[in-house]
């Protein structure tokens, strides 16, 4: 068990995703138990990335369903090719066929359009199914997922039940904008991803941008960690830390100071009020500690 957990941790690192042992352990359990994994946390902490990295690590195809408000079965599960069905009905209109016989023809595999959920269980080999931002759908859509999550099967009224040829590895992500149903949670293992520590974020920056100077990576990670402790409308994500690092490199910088931070803060922070708040804190103290009290003699200037 421990050996496989270490393999997962190392395998994810090799495809550019760094995680701690706790996260690797949950992935191992989801893999071993073949249980869906619900990954929850703030936007931009790597929830989608962990599914992408898992598929790359295991050389498995990824099937992604991007959720949004109002999504229905036709976009997520299946729908019928109505144009082809109509053409078939018109073609046999003069043959005086039995209505039941015509229905059997048009409600068959030839006229079925498979959407991501049905594609995943129809795959002859295991696939990774990513149901992204599940918190954006309604409870009716959640209820539709329960059969897939618990029994790896989908029922189509006109055709019957499709059982998975190979049970997919299912990842569901949520930004926790609303509470998910207990029925859905009960069918999944749960992983909460929070913003990384400064040390972990530094490692992420260095693996994502190998040419990044280590000192700059360390400074960016520490400042990002401090900024996230300030009450903001939107805390900056790890993806935005990476963008900031790229921007600073393009400017030819290998260190981070107060003036540079003020000039490039809009690359890292995306809300005007948050930028104004942080700029005022930096200008008032002339350092990057973002802490109340007197100016430290160990500033970043």
157 pLDDT band (50/70/90 cuts)?
A: confident
44 pLDDT band (50/70/90 cuts)?
A: confident
Question: Contact, 162 vs 153, CB < 8 A?
Answer: yes
> What's the CA gap between 92 and 15, in Å, rounded?
54
pLDDT tens digits, one per residue of 274-298: 999 999 988 887 777 765 444 333 3
What contacts 142, CB < 8 A, 6 or more positions away? Answer: 134, 180, 181, 183, 184
Strands 37-40 and 189-192: what pairing? parallel
- Given a cut of 60, whether residue 198 has pLDDT beyond it is yes
pLDDT tens digits, one per residue of 205-264: 999 999 999 999 999 999 999 999 999 999 999 999 999 999 999 999 888 888 899 999
pLDDT tens digits, one per residue of 12-23: 999 999 999 999
88 pLDDT band (50/70/90 cuts)?
A: low
Question: Contact, 135 vs 176, CB < 8 A?
Answer: yes
For range 44-64, the mean pLDDT: 96
Higher pLDDT, 156 or 217: 217
- Given a cut of 50, whether residue 300 has pLDDT beyond it is no
């Amino acid at each position: 068990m421990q050996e496989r957990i270490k393999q997962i941790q190392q395998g994810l690192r090799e495809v550019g995703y760094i995680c701690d042992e706790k996260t690797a352990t949950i992935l191992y359990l989801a893999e071993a138990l073949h249980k869906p994994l619900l990954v929850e946390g703030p936007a931009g902490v790597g929830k989608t990335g962990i599914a992408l990295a898992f598929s790359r690590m295991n050389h498995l195809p990824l099937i992604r369903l991007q959720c949004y408000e109002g999504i229905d079965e036709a976009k997520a599960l299946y729908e019928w090719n109505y144009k082809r069905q109509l053409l078939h009905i018109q073609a046999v209109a003069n043959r005086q066929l039995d209505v039941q016989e015509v229905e059997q023809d048009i409600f068959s595999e030839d006229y079925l359009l498979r959407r991501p959920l049905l594609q995943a269980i129809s795959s002859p080999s295991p696939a990774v199914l990513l149901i992204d931002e599940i918190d954006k759908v309604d409870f009716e859509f959640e209820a539709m997922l329960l059969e897939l999550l618990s029994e790896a099967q989908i029922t189509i009224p006109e055709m019957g039940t499709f059982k998975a040829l190979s049970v997919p590895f299912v990842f569901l992500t949520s930004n926790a904008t609303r509470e998910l149903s207990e029925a859905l949670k009960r069918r999944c293992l749960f992983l909460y991803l929070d913003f990384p520590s400064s040390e972990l974020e530094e490692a992420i920056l260095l693996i994502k941008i190998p040419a990044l100077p280590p000192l700059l990576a360390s400074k960016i990670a520490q400042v990002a960690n401090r900024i996230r402790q300030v009450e903001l409308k939107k805390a900056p994500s790890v993806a935005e830390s990476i963008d900031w690092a790229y921007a600073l490199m393009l400017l030819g910088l290998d260190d981070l100071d107060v003036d540079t931070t003020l000039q490039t803060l809009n690359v890292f922070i995306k809300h005007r009020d948050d930028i104004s708040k942080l700029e005022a804190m930096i200008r008032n103290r002339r350092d990057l500690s973002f802490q109340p009290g007197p100016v430290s003699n160990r500033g970043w200037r």
